[in-house]
A and B are shown apart, each in its own frame.
Chain A
Amino acid sequence: AQSVTQLDSQVPVFEEAPVELRCNYSSSVSVYLFWYVQYPNQGLQLLLKYLSGSTLVKGINGFEAEFNKSQTSFHLRKPSVHISDTAEYFCAARAGNNRKLIWGLGTSLAVNP
C-alpha cells in the first residue's frame, strides 16, 4: 500500500535560519511527489513537484526538494526562511497512473523573529 510520512509535526525556526521538512514515502511502483503549502485561512498551493528527471527540484518562494529513491525520501529545504513562510506544509504522492493523491499529516512551520 502507498503511504506518506512526514516525520515532524511541528518545526520551530528562527528567521533567516535554514530549514528542512522531512517526508518519506512508500510505494511499490513509480511515484510522483509533491509539496503543497497552506497558509492560514487559505487553500493549498503547490510549492514544487517531482515527476521525473533531475532529482533536485526547485519551487516557488526559494524552496527546493531532493528526490532520493534509495531512501524513499523527498525532503523540503530552504536556506533562509522568512516570517512569511509560517504555514502548514504537506507532502503528497501519486503512484503510477493512479490519480488520487496520498497525503502526509502535515508539518507546521513556525518562523520566529
Chain B
Amino acid sequence: GAGVSQTPSNKVTEKGKYVELRCDPISGHTALYWYRQSLGQGPEFLIYFQGTGAADDSGLPNDRFFAVRPEGSVSTLKIQRTERGDSAVYLCASSPGTAGADTQYFGPGTRLTVL
C-alpha cells in the first residue's frame, strides 16, 4: 500500500518568508509525527498528533513553528519568518496509534533551505 508522502520534496525560500510543509500519512493511521533532521544529526522530535489534536508539541523550537491536522489525516507544518537555522530535512511519520508500542513509518522528507 501507499506509504507516507511529503510535499514538496525540496523547498528553497528566503529568510523571513513563510513556508508550509505537507504530510499525507498512511491511510488509517491515527498518530502522526513531525521530526527535523539537521545535517549529520539524528532526527529531532517536533510534535505528535493523535487524531486531530496535538498530543505533544514539546519539541517545537519556538512560536514560529506551528502544525495542524484538521481532519485527522493530512498535516501541515507551518514556519513563519524563516531563519537560516531552520534549514533541515523535515520528516513526517505515522503509526496506527492503537497501542503504546506501535511502529512509526517515515516519509521521504522535505528538504528546506533558507537563504
The chain B residues found within 8 Å of chain A, CB to CB, are 4, 31, 33, 35, 40-45, 48, 50, 55-56, 58-59, 91, 93, 100-101, 103-109
Q: List 6 A-B contacts (CB under 8 A).
A: A43-B109, A52-B101, A96-B100, A97-B100, A101-B33, A104-B42
Do B108 and A101 touch (CB < 8 A)? Answer: no
Q: Point out the residues of chain A lying under 8 angstroms from B100, CB to CB.
A: 96-97
Q: Name B105's contact: one of A4, A46, A103 (CB within 8 Å).
A: A46
Contact partner of B59 (CB less than 8 A), chosen from A43, A94, A100, is: A100
Residues of chain A contacted by B59 (CB below 8 angstroms): 100
Interface residues, chain A, with chain B CB atoms under 8 Å away: 4, 32, 34, 36, 42-46, 49, 51-52, 90, 92, 94, 96-106
Inter-chain CA distance A32–B95, complex, in Å, is 15
Enumerate chain A residues within 8 angstroms of B50, measured Cβ to Cβ: 99
**B48 and A99 contact, CB distance less than 8 A:** yes
Listed residue (A43, A49, A90, A97) with the most chain B CB atoms within 10 angstroms of its CB: A43
Query: Chain B residues near A100 (CB, 8 Å)?
Result: 33, 45, 48, 56, 58-59
CB closest chain-B residue, reference A98: B56
- Do A101 and B107 touch (CB < 8 A)? no
Chain A contacts of B106 at CB under 8 A? 36, 43-45
Q: Which residues of A contact B104 (CB under 8 A)?
A: 101
Residues of B within 8 A of A106 (CB): 40-42
On whether the beta carbons of A103 and B44 are closer than 8 Å, the reply is yes
Please give me the residue from chain B that is nearest to A44 by CB atom: B106
Report A-chain residues with C-beta under 8 Å of the C-beta of B93: 44
Distance of B76 from chain A, by nearest CB (Å): 19
- In the docked arrangement, what's the CA distance between A44 and B30, Å? 20
- Complex CA–CA separation, A100 to B106 (angstroms): 13
